[in-house]
């Protein structure tokens, strides 16, 4: 008789009940005698025949544990290859791991715990959301965001660096519910990124502006131009989805330009400060070092987004781990981390000089601009969502059956 003693086991609700180190399940064929309660190793699927034993144990234990019957019938969603899904769901160089194009919300959530070509995309932005929320909560204990107007640009920025990865994670999670849902999910993803660019404009205009530019025309209109860039970004990126199937290269150019324009504008003060230090007009600082790392990862992010490397060179090899969008997410989050550190350093080290040479940030110019940007971007998303073509539900299912 073979006995396994390496796994914790549940012995049911009778005598000697509870968790313990069982001598576990007897595995010989033809074993007789009733089993006492529910006695099954936690990881018995690792043992010979363990999957069937686990199923039998769950059936015996369902009544004792009072579990609903449908809890035992949950199955991970089926995955498909690229030729089995409609074109709107296909990604360049990704040959497998696609979810059903008419997945339910529950299937989408379950798929985040299954290895699909979207799983790493979901988690590489969902987990950083909690990191940024933790950093935000720490700042809330040390700064007075309610009464100190100098901190209001930072408040806007922290809200948005928590928003954009969370929105991205949700978009990747629920984008397989339908073709329309996919477009709308990414509309919101683009809107969150454009708002993030607006948050950068508000923060840089308050803390990162070069000394020579303070109170200049550009400084006074920096946030206003940032709002316009945000609307341009959302409009152009949403429009790019309408021409994606007919003109994929044009769509990619439009979408890339939609994000590069706000980034370049927001980064002008940083480029000037870095070049000034290269020319010897200033001394290196911790903030500039962090800004440099942020810009480096931002350029890597842009390169990965536009190039589709490495899956473009080896289609099918990086379907689940290592494709460009996953690397793009990682670089974006790491770059945002360095950006946050640079902003915090500039805010603390330049406070005395900035407050003595320029006016304090106002509520309308910070939180008010954020609210206006949210409303305008939601309006743009609503307009593009209303213009989406409606695809009959049967057409997607018919495509799968034909394949």
Q: Which residues are annotated as a binding site?
A: 172, 325, 329
d(CA 210, CA 45): 62
**Lookup: tokens for 97:** 């791991």
Residues with Cβ within 8 Å of residue 401, at least 6 apart in sequence: none
d(CA 234, CA 195): 9
SS3 40: strand
d(CA 141, CA 143): 6
SS3 19: strand
- The residue behind tokens 């690229």 is 82
Residues with Cβ within 8 Å of residue 170, at least 6 apart in sequence: 185, 188
- The residue behind tokens 């406070």 is 351
Residue 21 CB-density burial (10 A; 0-12 exposed, 13-18 middle, 19+ buried): exposed
- The residue behind tokens 């206006």 is 372
Sign, CA torsion 145/151/155/158 = negative
Binding site as annotated, residues for Zn(2+): 172, 325, 329
- The residue behind tokens 């350093």 is 345
């Amino acid at each position: 008789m073979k006995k396994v003693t390496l796994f914790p086991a549940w012995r049911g609700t009778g005598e000697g009940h509870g968790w313990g180190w069982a001598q576990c399940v007897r595995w010989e064929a033809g074993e007789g005698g009733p089993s006492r309660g529910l006695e099954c190793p936690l990881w018995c699927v690792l043992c010979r025949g363990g999957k069937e034993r686990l199923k039998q144990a769950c059936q015996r234990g369902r009544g004792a544990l009072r579990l609903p019957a449908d809890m035992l019938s949950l199955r991970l969603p089926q995955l498909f290859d690229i030729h089995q899904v409609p074109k709107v769901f296909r990604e360049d160089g990704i040959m497998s791991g696609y979810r059903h194009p008419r997945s339910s919300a529950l299937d989408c959530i379950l798929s985040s715990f299954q290895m699909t070509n979207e799983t790493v995309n979901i988690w590489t932005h969902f987990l950083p959301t909690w990191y940024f929320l933790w950093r935000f909560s720490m700042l809330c204990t040390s700064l007075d965001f309610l009464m100190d107007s100098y901190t209001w640009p930072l408040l806007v920025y922290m809200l948005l660096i928590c928003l954009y990865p969370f929105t991205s994670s949700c978009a990747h999670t629920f984008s397989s519910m339908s073709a329309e849902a996919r477009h709308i999910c990414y509309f919101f993803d683009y809107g969150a990124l454009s708002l993030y660019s607006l948050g950068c404009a508000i923060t840089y205009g308050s803390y990162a502006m070069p000394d020579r530019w303070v109170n200049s025309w550009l400084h006074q209109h920096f946030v206003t131009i940032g709002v316009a860039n945000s609307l341009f970004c959302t409009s152009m990126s949403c429009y790019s989805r309408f021409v994606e199937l007919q003109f994929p290269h044009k769509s990619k150019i439009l979408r890339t330009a939609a994000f590069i324009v706000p980034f370049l504008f927001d980064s002008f003060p940083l480029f000037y400060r870095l070049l000034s230090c290269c020319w010897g007009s200033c001394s290196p600082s911790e903030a500039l070092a962090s800004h440099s790392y942020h810009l480096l990862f931002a350029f890597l992010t842009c390169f990965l987004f536009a190039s589709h490397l490495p899956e473009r060179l080896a289609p099918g090899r990086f379907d689940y781990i290592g494709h460009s969008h996953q690397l793009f997410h990682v670089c974006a989050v790491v770059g945002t981390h360095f950006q946050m550190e640079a902003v915090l350093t500039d805010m603390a080290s330049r406070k005395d000089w900035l407050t003595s040479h320029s006016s304090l940030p106002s509520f309308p110019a910070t939180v008010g601009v954020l609210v206006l940007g949210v409303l305008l971007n939601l309006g743009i998303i609503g307009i593009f969502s209303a213009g989406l073509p409606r695809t009959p539900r049967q057409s997607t299912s018919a495509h799968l059956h034909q394949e």
